[in-house]
A and B are shown apart, each in its own frame.
Chain A
């Protein structure tokens, strides 16, 4: 598992509006890549193009290439549903399925894709909950509703649900912004662990978080409101936070704007 993502010349549009312009980057497998930048700079929009999730919004389209180990995700004949099976996603707000138990939430990806073998499901659910550092907290109440857990537990449940389908890449869209510091710490520990198996991409507003969890950091910015967002700089996290090449990056991480 875990694949390299190579993006070249990517533009993202919502109808006529260009939201993200000319992004090219390489995301290394088995590493954590963080996207930082001010609100509205297109980092979430861009993240959603990596598993073709932006297409859910009517009028959204993309120009350019996204290669997953040399396979173009936007080539003709590629099914976005198949793409999302290999590139999973965790969202800003925890969103467990309210009608399902903890067990069914984790098993949902497999069940909804036709896996019925109870033994396999039980194994995957246990492994995924352990992988998401949640097993010990919920192992005695797997049949209880997922929505009954605390916010931080729900988010780890969502991560367990995402890794249960064994994707190559996991995209995280501000996964800690709705959580308290202790839950955030639990998720950060988990991200550290996830990169052993997966390629992890995380969007965050919290620069300390980017510095703590990521290996590479990409800084996005936009020239002005109404202008498209651009990738300003991407480098090893250490370098971005100690010695960025671009002035804009330095201003942002030192808190002089944004």
Chain B
């Protein structure tokens, strides 16, 4: 086998240019790098600014146990004291009801679009409607529920009505993200399951959805984060109450966005201003806590890799 290289050709003497980047290319490279880093920093500035302002102005009220256990009952704008318990619970209760209604509809809708309806007229219609719903401003959703819940059915302004309006806002967010996650599940996995004689519905339930589970949970969290900060439906569909009310079907309810709104007009007064910043920080922390919780759920629901 060593004889193969007998007629080794001579070097042709031409030297190739391997010297690398030319001046113009090096300049473009630096320019692009600077632009990209600058864009990143500019995007970061408002984020850090907001976080810094909210944390530095809002943290001290959060350190007291009262903040987490008391309501604002009987506390006027000029007085210090009281807490955000009523608003935290109100926000959580309304968000929970919203999620309980919106998530099943959104996930089942996404399953229909990806697994059953693909390419059909019905699926295109649903998809189009979801796009429209995505663009509906929160105040329009709130007024729609007002028209149905209060004008037509004659019910009162209660927390549940807010949840209904929030469903309209959460549904398209969760449906779209779930749809994207289901699309990412490779067809090979579906075929592997079919080849074992597993029916389609069971394939979706036991193979497709579990594979996409982490992504679906993230989508639900994005949706929740969006609706927990919504203010218009709260203003229109339930009055702000300084008292603790845990019943979404009766009476006004506190919520963090409306608590911020309540004291917003009195920012010249220190106790009111403090409460505004603290309520804002609490809302951010609440969303963050839910996010972490969801990540834990997603992690424990899949098996650990090595």
Residues of chain A touching chain B, judged by Cβ–Cβ distance below 8 Å, are 51, 53, 56, 58, 81-86, 88-91, 93, 95-101, 108-109, 112-113, 143-145, 147-148, 158, 161-162, 165
Contact = CB atoms under 8 A, between A and B. Distances in A.
Interface stretch (B38-46, B96-104, B124-132, B192-200): B192-200
Given A56-B194, A96-B192, 7 more contacts: A91-B188, A97-B189, A99-B211, A108-B198, A112-B196, A112-B207, A113-B197
Contacts of A83: 197
B303 A145 contact: yes
Contacts of A148: 305-306
A185 B211 CA distance: 31
Interface string B103-123: 000000000000000110000
Contact of B119 (A58, A95, A112): A58
B303 A100 contact: yes
Contacts of B188: 91, 93, 95
Nearest to B207: A97
Nearest to A161: B196
A215 B86 CA distance: 77
B190 interface: yes
B302 interface: yes
A252 B252 CA distance: 81
Interface of B: 118-119, 186-200, 202-203, 206-207, 210-211, 213, 302-306
Nearest to B214: A99
B306 A81 contact: no
Contacts of A96: 192
A253 to B, nearest CB: 28
Report which residue of B118, B196, B200, B302 has the largest number of chain A beta carbons within 10 angstroms of its beta carbon. Answer: B196
Given A95-B192, A99-B213, A112-B193, A81 B303 contact: no
Q: Which 8 A-B pairs have the closest CB atoms?
A: A85-B197, A109-B196, A89-B195, A95-B188, A112-B198, A84-B197, A99-B210, A95-B192
A148 B305 CA distance: 7
A81 B198 contact: yes
Contact of A81 (B186, B191, B197, B302): B197
Nearest to A96: B192
Report which residue of B186, B187, B190, B193 has the largest number of chain A beta carbons within 10 angstroms of its beta carbon. Answer: B193
Contact of B195 (A88, A93, A97, A144): A88
Nearest to A98: B211
11 contacts: A53-B191, A58-B118, A81-B200, A83-B197, A91-B191, A91-B192, A96-B192, A97-B211, A99-B210, A112-B207, A144-B305
A112 B305 contact: no
Report which residue of B202, B206, B303 has the largest number of chain A beta carbons within 10 angstroms of its beta carbon. Answer: B303
Nearest to A99: B210
A145 B303 CA distance: 7
B106 to A, nearest CB: 21
Nearest to B195: A89
Contacts of B302: 99
